[in-house]
Amino acid sequence: AEYGELKKTKNKELDSKCTEVQLLKFGQPINIEALERMSVNKTAEEMKERLHVEENEHIRELEALDVAIRKLRKTLTNATSDNTVTLKQMAEVYQDQYTLEENSMITQNAILAETSRMKKHGVLDERDLKEVMSEKQKRNELLRLEISKLRDKSGSIHKK
Protein backbone atom coordinates (compact mmCIF):
# COMPACT_ATOMS: atom_id res chain seq x y z
CA ALA A 1 0.00 0.00 0.00
CA GLU A 2 2.95 2.31 0.70
CA TYR A 3 4.17 1.74 -2.84
CA GLY A 4 0.82 2.97 -4.24
CA GLU A 5 0.90 6.06 -2.03
CA LEU A 6 4.44 6.78 -3.05
CA LYS A 7 3.44 6.54 -6.71
CA LYS A 8 0.48 8.89 -6.22
CA THR A 9 2.73 11.44 -4.57
CA LYS A 10 5.27 11.18 -7.39
CA ASN A 11 2.49 11.66 -9.99
CA LYS A 12 1.23 14.77 -8.23
CA GLU A 13 4.74 16.23 -8.18
CA LEU A 14 5.20 15.55 -11.89
CA ASP A 15 1.78 17.06 -12.66
CA SER A 16 2.62 20.25 -10.79
CA LYS A 17 6.01 20.48 -12.56
CA CYS A 18 4.27 20.00 -15.91
CA THR A 19 1.74 22.72 -15.09
CA GLU A 20 4.56 25.09 -14.07
CA VAL A 21 6.40 24.48 -17.36
CA GLN A 22 3.17 25.08 -19.32
CA LEU A 23 2.55 28.33 -17.44
CA LEU A 24 6.08 29.50 -18.14
CA LYS A 25 6.02 28.53 -21.80
CA PHE A 26 2.37 29.25 -22.81
CA GLY A 27 1.04 31.44 -20.02
CA GLN A 28 -1.73 28.96 -19.21
CA PRO A 29 -2.16 25.25 -18.51
CA ILE A 30 -2.70 23.16 -21.66
CA ASN A 31 -5.20 20.30 -21.91
CA ILE A 32 -3.30 17.80 -24.06
CA GLU A 33 -6.33 15.51 -24.56
CA ALA A 34 -8.39 18.43 -25.96
CA LEU A 35 -5.52 19.33 -28.31
CA GLU A 36 -5.37 15.78 -29.64
CA ARG A 37 -9.14 15.76 -30.28
CA MET A 38 -8.91 19.10 -32.12
CA SER A 39 -6.11 17.94 -34.38
CA VAL A 40 -8.09 14.81 -35.30
CA ASN A 41 -11.16 16.96 -36.01
CA LYS A 42 -9.05 19.35 -38.07
CA THR A 43 -7.91 16.50 -40.31
CA ALA A 44 -11.46 15.19 -40.58
CA GLU A 45 -12.72 18.67 -41.46
CA GLU A 46 -10.04 19.05 -44.14
CA MET A 47 -11.05 15.70 -45.62
CA LYS A 48 -14.75 16.67 -45.56
CA GLU A 49 -13.96 19.93 -47.35
CA ARG A 50 -11.90 18.13 -50.01
CA LEU A 51 -14.71 15.62 -50.48
CA HIS A 52 -17.25 18.44 -50.83
CA VAL A 53 -15.11 20.16 -53.50
CA GLU A 54 -14.74 16.90 -55.44
CA GLU A 55 -18.48 16.20 -55.23
CA ASN A 56 -19.23 19.65 -56.66
CA GLU A 57 -16.80 19.02 -59.53
CA HIS A 58 -18.47 15.69 -60.29
CA ILE A 59 -21.92 17.28 -60.18
CA ARG A 60 -20.82 19.91 -62.73
CA GLU A 61 -19.34 17.20 -64.97
CA LEU A 62 -22.56 15.16 -64.79
CA GLU A 63 -24.67 18.20 -65.64
CA ALA A 64 -22.48 18.91 -68.68
CA LEU A 65 -22.79 15.27 -69.77
CA ASP A 66 -26.59 15.43 -69.38
CA VAL A 67 -26.71 18.49 -71.64
CA ALA A 68 -24.54 16.73 -74.24
CA ILE A 69 -26.75 13.62 -74.10
CA ARG A 70 -29.90 15.72 -74.60
CA LYS A 71 -28.33 17.41 -77.64
CA LEU A 72 -27.27 14.07 -79.11
CA ARG A 73 -30.73 12.59 -78.57
CA LYS A 74 -32.30 15.56 -80.36
CA THR A 75 -29.84 15.15 -83.26
CA LEU A 76 -30.67 11.43 -83.45
CA THR A 77 -34.41 12.15 -83.45
CA ASN A 78 -34.03 14.72 -86.24
CA ALA A 79 -31.86 12.38 -88.32
CA THR A 80 -34.35 9.54 -87.89
CA SER A 81 -37.20 11.81 -88.93
CA ASP A 82 -35.30 13.06 -91.99
CA ASN A 83 -34.41 9.50 -92.99
CA THR A 84 -38.03 8.42 -92.66
CA VAL A 85 -39.16 11.22 -94.98
CA THR A 86 -36.42 10.30 -97.48
CA LEU A 87 -37.38 6.63 -97.42
CA LYS A 88 -41.04 7.49 -98.05
CA GLN A 89 -40.02 9.69 -101.00
CA MET A 90 -37.84 6.92 -102.41
CA ALA A 91 -40.70 4.43 -102.10
CA GLU A 92 -42.97 6.81 -104.04
CA VAL A 93 -40.35 7.29 -106.77
CA TYR A 94 -39.80 3.54 -107.13
CA GLN A 95 -43.55 3.00 -107.29
CA ASP A 96 -43.83 5.63 -110.05
CA GLN A 97 -40.92 4.03 -111.90
CA TYR A 98 -42.55 0.60 -111.68
CA THR A 99 -45.86 2.00 -112.98
CA LEU A 100 -44.12 3.70 -115.92
CA GLU A 101 -42.18 0.58 -116.85
CA GLU A 102 -45.37 -1.48 -116.65
CA ASN A 103 -47.23 1.05 -118.86
CA SER A 104 -44.33 1.00 -121.33
CA MET A 105 -44.56 -2.77 -121.66
CA ILE A 106 -48.35 -2.61 -122.10
CA THR A 107 -47.95 0.06 -124.79
CA GLN A 108 -45.26 -1.93 -126.59
CA ASN A 109 -47.44 -5.03 -126.54
CA ALA A 110 -50.42 -3.03 -127.84
CA ILE A 111 -48.36 -1.59 -130.72
CA LEU A 112 -47.06 -5.05 -131.60
CA ALA A 113 -50.57 -6.47 -131.52
CA GLU A 114 -51.89 -3.62 -133.69
CA THR A 115 -49.05 -4.07 -136.16
CA SER A 116 -49.69 -7.83 -136.37
CA ARG A 117 -53.41 -7.26 -136.88
CA MET A 118 -52.76 -4.74 -139.63
CA LYS A 119 -50.31 -7.09 -141.33
CA LYS A 120 -52.85 -9.91 -141.27
CA HIS A 121 -55.48 -7.77 -142.94
CA GLY A 122 -52.97 -6.46 -145.48
CA VAL A 123 -53.56 -2.90 -144.34
CA LEU A 124 -49.91 -2.19 -143.67
CA ASP A 125 -47.45 -1.46 -146.35
CA GLU A 126 -43.81 -0.60 -145.82
CA ARG A 127 -44.46 3.12 -145.32
CA ASP A 128 -47.14 2.47 -142.68
CA LEU A 129 -44.85 0.01 -140.93
CA LYS A 130 -42.04 2.57 -140.80
CA GLU A 131 -44.47 5.17 -139.41
CA VAL A 132 -45.72 2.79 -136.71
CA MET A 133 -42.13 1.87 -135.79
CA SER A 134 -41.16 5.55 -135.65
CA GLU A 135 -44.07 6.30 -133.30
CA LYS A 136 -43.13 3.29 -131.19
CA GLN A 137 -39.53 4.47 -130.95
CA LYS A 138 -40.58 8.01 -129.99
CA ARG A 139 -42.93 6.69 -127.31
CA ASN A 140 -40.27 4.33 -125.95
CA GLU A 141 -37.73 7.14 -125.87
CA LEU A 142 -40.15 9.36 -123.92
CA LEU A 143 -40.75 6.55 -121.42
CA ARG A 144 -37.00 5.94 -121.08
CA LEU A 145 -36.48 9.65 -120.39
CA GLU A 146 -39.20 9.61 -117.73
CA ILE A 147 -37.67 6.52 -116.12
CA SER A 148 -34.24 8.14 -116.24
CA LYS A 149 -35.62 11.28 -114.55
CA LEU A 150 -37.19 9.13 -111.86
CA ARG A 151 -33.90 7.34 -111.32
CA ASP A 152 -32.09 10.67 -111.08
CA LYS A 153 -34.75 11.93 -108.70
CA SER A 154 -34.44 8.85 -106.51
CA GLY A 155 -30.67 9.18 -106.60
CA SER A 156 -30.82 12.80 -105.45
CA ILE A 157 -33.25 11.83 -102.69
CA HIS A 158 -30.92 9.06 -101.61
CA LYS A 159 -27.90 11.41 -101.46
CA LYS A 160 -29.55 13.88 -99.04
pTM of the model: 0.46
Residue 96's closest CA among 143, 58, 33? 143
Q: Where are the beta strands (DSSP E) in 1-151?
A: none
Residue 146's closest CA among 93, 100, 90, 89? 100
What pLDDT is recorded for position 154?
A: 57
Q: How do residues 56-102 score in pLDDT, each as one tens digit?
A: 999 999 999 999 999 999 999 999 999 999 999 889 888 888 888 88
pLDDT of 8 > 50? The answer is: yes
Report DSSP state, residue 30: -
What pLDDT is recorded for position 50?
A: 95
Q: How many CB atoms lie within 10 A of CB 21?
A: 12
Q: In the predicted model, what is the mean pLDDT of the chain?
A: 82
Burial of 27-47, coded b for 16+ CB within 10 Å and e otherwise, reads eeeeeeeeeeeeeeeeeeeee
